[in-house]
Amino acid sequence: MPPAPTRIIFEDREILVLHRPGRSAHSLVTFADLTFRPKGDAFWGREAAERLGLDAVGFIAKRENWYPAASVDAAAAAVRSVLKPRGLAYGYSMGAYGALKHGRRLGLDAAIAVAPQVSIAPTDVPADTRFHRYFRPAVHRGMRVAPEDLAPFAAVLADPYDAVDWDHARLAAEAGPVHLLRTPHAGHSAIWLVTGAEALGELLAPALEGDVAAMRGLLRERRARSGHWFRLMGRAAFGHGHGALAETLWDRARALRIPDAILAQERARATADRAQRLLALGRREEAVAMARDLAAAAPAEVVGAIGQAAHLLLAAGASIEAEAAFRRALILNPAAADVHVGLSLALGAQGREAEAIAAAREGHAAIPEDGETATHYAHLLAGGEAAAQAEAERIFRVVLARQPANGIALFGLSRVVAARGQGSEALHLAQQASARLPGHHDSLAWFADLVLRGGDALRAERLYRRLQRLSPGRAEGYLGLAAALQAQGRRAEAIGALRRGLNAVPGDAALAAQLRESLRPRARVAALMGRLRGYFRRRGTDRAGTTD
C-alpha cells in the first residue's frame, strides 16, 4: 500500500510545514535554505527522502527569516504529533540554523547542520555582515543558538579554511556539545559533499546513534568517490595559484561524472577567486588582466562570476572596463541587485554623476522590492536638491517599512532629516544605524558627528576613539576626536590627536590644516567643527551607499 500523500500540517505568515509519511522507523525533519520557497508539495530534501523511503517533515520559509522561534513554537505540536519515535533535523546554511536552533524544541534526537549560521544578529556576529539586513529585532529576539536549543546529538559540517563559516561552527560548539566535522576547501558549498540519497542515507544511522567517529570516517571515504569534492578542491587549488593541480582535480571530477558544463562554470568561479586573491596580494595588473578576460569570456551560466569580475575591476580602479562588464552581466541577469549598484558606482567613478543616478534609478525600477538597489539610489538622491531629498526620504521609509533593521536605510534617512533641521530624529536614526551596522565606518562617523553637534562632547569622544580603532588609516576619527577634546577644553590632547592622525594618514590636507589652526594661540572649536562637517560632506556623498 503506498504511503499517504504529502500534506500541510502547519502554516503561518513565516513558514510552511509539510509531512510526507514514510515507512522508516525514524523521521527526517528538513529545514530549507535561503532561496527555497513553498511550491506545491515540494520541500528541501524531498527527493532523497522519497528514495530512502523516509518519513519526513519539511520546514519551508516564506522569506529570508531564519525560522523564527515563535513560528516554530506554534508548529511544534503538529510536528510532534506526526514524528516517529526517533527524529533527526537536517539543514544547510539558513536551514542548518533551523536544525540547530529547533532540535530540542521539536523533540528530535539528533541534528546535522551543514555550514550553519548561529545567528544573523549584528550584535552576535558583527564580523559576518552577509545577512544583517534580514535581522528583525522583534522577530529574532534571543536568536543565537544556545545550549537549551540543541538536540542531544548535533554535528556541524563546515570548512575550517572558510573563515566566516568556521567562526559560526566554533560559536555553535561553544553553545554546547556540538561535534565539528571538517569539510576542507569546500567553502560554503560543503552541502555538495552530502548531497543525494546515498550520502544522506549513510550519515543518518551514525547520527541517530551519536557515533561521530563513524560520521568522520564516512565523510573521509566519500571524498575519494565524490566528483563534487574533486570539483571543489580544483576550485580551491586554482584560487591559490595551482593551475596544473586544479586541472588534474577537475579531470578526476569529470571521470566521476561531473558534466563538462558544470566544470566550465567552476573554472570561471575559480578564476574570479584567483583574481580576488591577486588583488588582495597587491598584484593589481595580474588581477585586472584575469578579471578582464573572465568578464569577456565566462559562460553565460556563471553570470555571478562575471559580476564578481566587474566588481574586481572597479575595486582595482579600472572603472571603464568595469562598466562594460557590469553591462554584460545585466544583459544576462537584469535582476542582479549588486550588478545594478556596481554599474552606478562605475559610472560615478568616471565622474559621470548624472548617468550614475540614472543607472541607480533603472536598477530600483527593475527590482523595486530590493533593499540594496533602493538604498543606493536614495543615497545618491540625498545629496541633491530639496525635491531629490524628498524622494530619497520616501524611498528610505518604504525600505524601512519592509526591513525595519536595514542599517543603510536608517543611515540615509538620518542624513536626510538632518538636512532639514530635525536634529533629534536624525540622532535617533543615526544611533539605530550604527547599532545595525557594526564595522561600518561612515555610519559611526555620522553618529559621532551628530552627538558632537548636540553638545555631548564626552560621548562623542568615546565614539571617535571607537572610530579610530575601526579605521586607523582614515582621517575622520582623528579630526572628530580633536574636535571633541577641544569642546571639553582639552587643547593639548586635541593637538596630540591631530599629530597622531598625521602619522597614521601622512599628507592628509584636512588634518594638516587643522593642526596648523589648532597651534594658533586662540584657535576656536567652531572652526574645527566647520572643517570636520565639510570633510564628512565631501566623503559622505561618495561613500554613503556602500558597506564595509
Q: What is the pLDDT of residues 396-405, one digit of tens each?
A: 999 999 988 8
Question: Region 238-260: what's the mean pLDDT?
Answer: 95
Instruction: Report the percentage of the chain scoring pLDDT > 90.
Output: 84
CB 315 within 8 A of CB 326: no
Task: Give residue limits of the domains in the chain.
Answer: 7-225, 232-258, 272-367, 438-548
3-state class of 133 per DSSP? helix
Cβ neighbourhood burial of 124 (10 Å; 0-12, 13-18, 19+): middle
CATH 1.10.8.60 fits 272-367, yes or no: no
Q: pLDDT by residue (tens digit) across 418-436?
A: 999 999 999 999 999 998 8
Architecture in CATH of 7-225: 3-Layer(aba) Sandwich (3.40)
Residue 20 and residue 27: Cα distance in Å, rounded? 10
The answer on pLDDT for 524 being more than 70 is no
For 509-517, the CB contacts below 8 A with 24+ separation are: 510/475, 510/479, 510/535, 511/475, 511/478, 511/479, 514/479, 514/482
Q: How many CB atoms lie within 10 A of CB 85?
A: 8
Residue 482 and residue 492: Cα distance in Å, rounded? 9
Q: Which amino acid is at 192?
A: W
Question: Region 78-101: what's the mean pLDDT?
Answer: 98
Instruction: Report the percentage of the chain scoring pLDDT > 70.
Output: 95
Q: pLDDT by residue (tens digit) across 276-300?
A: 999 999 999 999 999 999 998 888 8
Q: What's the pLDDT at 539?
A: 61
Whether the domain at 7-225 and the domain at 272-367 fall into the same CATH topology? no
> Which of 112-116, 172-176, 411-415 has the least mean pLDDT?
172-176
Residue 155 and residue 506: Cα distance in Å, rounded? 50
Enumerate residues 6+ apart whose C-beta is below 8 A from 197. 47, 48, 51, 52
Phi-psi domain of 30 (left: phi exceeds 0; alpha: psi -120 through 50; beta: other)? beta
The answer on pLDDT for 115 being more than 50 is yes
Q: What's the pLDDT at 547?
A: 44
Q: What's the pLDDT at 527?
A: 64
The answer on pLDDT for 266 being more than 70 is yes
The answer on pLDDT for 507 being more than 50 is yes
Enumerate residues 6+ apart whose C-beta is below 8 A from 4. 21
> Which of 25-34, 87-96, 221-230 has the least mean pLDDT?
221-230
The answer on pLDDT for 458 being more than 60 is yes
Q: Which amino acid is at 369?
A: E
Q: pLDDT by residue (tens digit) across 121-142?
A: 988 998 898 898 888 888 999 9
- Please work out, in degrees rounded to the nearest 5, the angle formed at the alpha carbon of residue 294 by the alpha carbons of 298 and 266: 55
Enumerate residues 6+ apart whose C-beta is below 8 A from 441. 467, 470, 471, 474, 476, 543, 548
The answer on pLDDT for 14 being more than 50 is yes
pTM: 0.76
Cβ neighbourhood burial of 519 (10 Å; 0-12, 13-18, 19+): exposed
Terminal-residue alpha carbon distance, the chain: 58
Enumerate residues 6+ apart whose C-beta is below 8 A from 68. 14, 15, 139, 140
Question: Region 320-326: what's the mean pLDDT?
Answer: 97
Question: Region 336-356: what's the mean pLDDT?
Answer: 97
Q: Calculate helix-pair angle for 476-487, 525-543, nearest 10 degrees.
A: 150
Phi-psi domain of 45 (left: phi exceeds 0; alpha: psi -120 through 50; beta: other)? left
CB 485 within 8 A of CB 493: yes
Residue 438 and residue 193: Cα distance in Å, rounded? 34
Residue 22 and residue 25: Cα distance in Å, rounded? 9
Enumerate residues 6+ apart whose C-beta is below 8 A from 80. 106, 107
Q: How many CB atoms lie within 10 A of CB 491?
A: 15
What's the mean per-residue pLDDT of the chain? 93
Residue 500 and residue 469: Cα distance in Å, rounded? 13
H helices of 403-475, in order, are 407-419, 423-436, 441-453, 457-470
Q: Which residues of 189-205 are buried (b: 16+ CB within 10 A; e: fewer)?
A: bbbbbbbebebbebbbe
Q: Is the dihedral of CA 287, 291, 292, 298 positive or negative?
A: positive
Q: What's the pLDDT at 535?
A: 67
Question: Region 449-466: what's the mean pLDDT?
Answer: 97
Cβ neighbourhood burial of 282 (10 Å; 0-12, 13-18, 19+): exposed
Enumerate residues 6+ apart whose C-beta is below 8 A from 171. 118, 119, 125, 144, 145
DSSP structure class, residue 439: T
Q: What's the pLDDT at 196?
A: 87
Residue 110 and residue 200: Cα distance in Å, rounded? 14
Q: What is the DSSP string of 358-393?
A: HHHHHHHHHSTT-HHHHHHHHHHHHTS-HHHHHHHH
The grid coordinates of residue 108 equal 528530535
The answer on pLDDT for 265 being more than 80 is yes
CATH number of the structural domain 438-548: 1.25.40.10
Categorize the per-residue pLDDT at 548 as very low, low, confident or very high, splitting at 50, 70 and 90. Answer: very low
Q: How many CB atoms lie within 10 A of CB 62?
A: 14
